[in-house]
Structure 1
Amino acid sequence: MTASDAPGFCVHCGQTSPGGADHPACHNPRTALEPPRYCTFCARRLVVQVSPLGWTARCSRHGGTASG
């Protein structure tokens, strides 16, 4: 991974955020339980699937992640 591939976007709103961390406005108890909605590398909307056992989120360019 190069410096240009470092996380730089908030997973909840998609806005620029150093290190891919949540913004103070996005960081609250409700969002702590929410799956990510935006890719931290490119800010694209993620394809998110929620099930009773957890969630999966996939970026068309950078791949996927899952809860748990």
Structure 2
Amino acid sequence: MNAYCDRCGEPRASGSHDACLAARELEPPRYCGQCRRRMKVQVLPSGWTASCVEHGALTR
């Protein structure tokens, strides 16, 4: 499991991230869950791509 929330960038242990989980159903991640860096995100009609400089790309 990632140490950081991929929507708000805060540590997962810092509290409830229920709103973040609900929003992530419709939105791509904004922060890397491993290092908390802001990711480069591209939204396409067929999905999205998000990439961290350190940890690479995610696609959906």
Q: Smaller-chain TM-score range?
A: 0.7 to 0.9
Match of 1:15 in 2: 10
Write the mapping of 1:11-50 to structure 2, written as runs, cut at 5 A: 11-18=6-13, 23-28=17-22, 30-50=23-43
Could you state the TM-score of these two structures normalised by the residue count of structure 2?
0.84
Q: Gaps (5+ residues) in structure 1?
A: 1-5
Cα RMSD, aligned residues only: 1.7
What percentage of residue pairs aligned between the two structures are identical?
47
Superposition misfits of 4+ residues, deviation over 6 angstroms? none
Could you state the TM-score of these two structures normalised by the residue count of structure 1?
0.75
Q: Gaps (5+ residues) in structure 2?
A: none
Per-residue deviation at 1:25? 3.2
